[in-house]
Amino acid sequence: MRTYQRWLRDDGGSKADGRKGSRRTAPANKLSDDERRQILAVANSAEFASCPPSQIVPTLVDRGEYLASESTIYRILKAEQQQHHRGRAKKPSKRVVTSHCATEANRLWAWDITWLPTNVRGLYFYWYMVLDVYSRKIVGHEVHVAESAELAALLLRKASLAEGLAGREVVLHSDNGSSMKGATMLATLEKLGIMPSFSRPRVSNDNAYAEALFRTCKYRPNYPSKPFDSVEDARNWTRQFVHWYNHQHKHSGLKFVTPAQRHDGTATEVLRRREQVYEAAKQHRPERWSGTTRNWNLKDEVWLNPEREQPEILKQAA
Reported pTM:
0.68
Does position 15 have pLDDT exceeding 70, yes or no?
no
Whole-number percent of the chain with pLDDT over 70: 86
Q: State the pLDDT at residue 307.
A: 72
Residue pLDDT, tens place only, 19-72: 666 566 656 678 888 999 999 999 989 888 888 888 899 888 888 889 889 999
Residue pLDDT, tens place only, 198-251: 887 777 777 889 999 999 999 999 999 999 999 999 999 999 999 999 999 999
Q: State the pLDDT at residue 16.
A: 61
| Dihedral sign of CA atoms 277, 278, 282, 283 in order | negative
Q: State the pLDDT at residue 316.
A: 43
Does position 195 have pLDDT exceeding 50, yes or no?
yes
**What whole-number distance in Å separates Cα of residue 248 and Cα of residue 303?**
24
The confidence band for 317, taking pLDDT boundaries of 50, 70 and 90, is: very low
Residue 120 region, left (φ>0) first, then alpha (ψ -120 to 50), else beta? beta
